[in-house]
Amino acid sequence: MSQDVIQVISAFAGAAGFALVFNIRIKHLLLASVGGLLSCVIYLLVQTSVENYFISCFVSSAFCAIYAEVMARIYKTPATVFFIPAVVALIPGGSLYYTMSYLIQGNSELFSQYGRTTGLYALGIACGISLAWALWYMIQKMITDIAKKIKEK
């Protein structure tokens, strides 16, 4: 099996694992894990086409935020329930570990390289979800406002 397939499957399993750790209701388990799978697929697709960590994380985390908001509307739950399992595969655990490991080894070149990657990951995730939430709330407000005006007429 290629590494990509393993990553997608393990992202699905990892998302399910985290959903269980956070005591999710079993009826939401499957959809929460599918969020993790989709976010990993999107990350890999963007990564192969643009080869930029920041942009891949940005797009993928923005997707997670929208996915969670949509699911939250459908199932009437807080969006966090679907958001956390979806986004968890994007957390830069690997590069965080190597950053600190090269720090101890005193390899300043690799340390700064991995440190930058970790920072870019975190920044990409933060920017992606921030932008997605901002757009989501704007659109939501516009729709409710327009609906209100139509009702008044």
Partner 1 sequence: MINTATDYKKILNTILDFGELMVSVGAEINRVEDTLTRLGLSYGAKRMNVFAVTNNIIVTLIVENGTIYTQSRRFQSNAGTDFTKLEKLNSLSRKKCGGIISHDEFELEISQIKSEKSNKLKICLGSMLAGGAFTLFFGGTVCDAAAAVVFAVAIYFLQAYFRAFCPNNIIFNLISSFIVGIGICAVSQLASLNADKVIIGDIMLLIPGIAFTNSMRDLLSGDTVTGIMRLVETVIWAAALAIGFVLAILAMGV
Per CB under 8 A, does 115 bind partner 1? no
- The reply to whether 7 sits near partner 1 by the rule CB under 8 A is yes
Contact between 36 and 73 under an 8 Å Cβ cutoff? The reply is no
Q: Which of 50, 134, 135, 138 binds partner 1 (CB under 8 A)?
A: 134
Q: Are 11 and 36 in contact (CB under 8 A)?
A: yes
Q: Does 88 bind partner 1 (CB under 8 A)?
A: yes
Q: Which is nearer to partner 1, 26 or 150 (CB)?
A: 26
Confirm or reject binding of residue 139 to partner 1 (CB under 8 A).
no
Is there a contact between 69 and 131 (Cβ–Cβ < 8 Å)? Answer: no
The rounded distance, in Å, linking the Cα atoms of 100 and 120 is: 16
129 near partner 1, rule: CB under 8 A: yes
User: In this chain, which of 60, 81, 115, 120 binds partner 1, going by CB under 8 A?
Assistant: 81
CA distance 84 to 59: 16
